[in-house]
Amino acid sequence: MKTVLITGANKSIGYETAKVLLKQGYFVYIGSRDAGKGEEAVLQLKAEGLTEAKAIQLNVTDPESVAAAARQVDQLDILINNAGISGAFPQPAATVDVGVLREVFDTNFFGTIQVTQAFLPLLKQSSAPVIVNVTSGLGSLTLHSDPSWRFYPYKSAGYGPSKSALNAYTISLAYELREAGFKVNAVDPGFTSTDFNHHTGTGTVESAALFVAKYATLQADGPSGKFFSNDYEDMGNESPW
């Protein structure tokens, strides 16, 4: 049975993505920084008949937690780096508290890299390894430079740049793993109604989850080193960097 690990899967987009993949027959590790919330999520899934899920305590910013999680997993085909934070808003470039930026980068950028490195040895044993880095359209430098873009005024000195950095990392990682059969992509679930944005998002978690799951289950002929967005169907869902 193919095995998936999703970070920050105790709720919202991560949780819904777990549901989609469980329904498709995958075994899913529900990463949660709070062990209790992870167990609760698994109970909820089991109550819906989705039994092939297991909670795993995983705080992406805590090296010991990440290492302990990696020791508990003995097979992994798909890693979905979903855990992310926005940090306190607003984040004006001229005056933002650098401490907030450090906190955001610690989770969205360094945390994601830490988890990826910890699980790469296992992924390398898979016959078809996949990594999805859950990013945001707000990480696109090209779109942020285009005054006609619908989110052009949504500037932030911390959150957006943390996802731009994650995108850059994704490109490097995809390049490095290109001959090892990996699919590594940056995937933007779209502006989705979750706790993340106090439910101001216009998309549903179901749509976001289907989109993330699509890139988590790419076949051998699928793309790698690309940036896909659920917000840009008109562009074939491929986003400019």
Kindly list the residues in this chain that would bind ligand NAP in the complex (CB under 6 A).
7-8, 10-14, 33-34, 37, 58-61, 82-85, 107, 111, 134, 136, 188-189, 191-192, 194-197, 201
Contact yes or no for 86/104 (Cβ under 8 A): yes
Please say which residue, 50 or 128, places its beta carbon nearer to ligand NAP. 50
74 Cβ partners below 8 Å, 6+ apart? 122
Which residue's CB is nearer to ligand NAP, number 125 or number 197? 197
Q: Tell me, what amino acid is at 107? A: T
- Closest residue to ligand NAP, based on beta-carbon distance: 84
First to last CA, the chain: 34
Smallest distance, ligand NAP to C-beta of residue 71, A:
17
Active site residue 159: yes
Q: How far is the CB of 227 from ligand NAP (least distance, A)?
A: 12
Rounded to whole angstroms, the Cα distance separating 18 from 166 reads 22
Q: CA-CA distance, 222 to 214, in Å (whole number)?
A: 10
Q: In terms of Cα–Cα distance, which of 172, 198, 201 is closest to 188? A: 201
Half-sphere exposure (Cβ direction) of 112: Cα atoms closer than 13 Å: 27
Q: How far is the CB of 206 from ligand NAP (least distance, A)?
A: 12
Nearest distance in Å: CB 210, ligand NAP: 14
Q: Is 127 exposed, middle or buried (0-12, 13-18, 19+ CB in 10 A)?
A: exposed
Residue nearer to ligand NAP on the CB measure, 174 or 209: 209
Per annotation, catalytic residue among 159, 169, 215, 232? 159
Residue 9, amino acid? A
User: Which residue, 77 or 188, has its beta carbon nearer to ligand NAP?
Assistant: 188
Distance CA 199, CA 74 (A): 37
For the annotated catalytic residues, the residue numbers are: 159
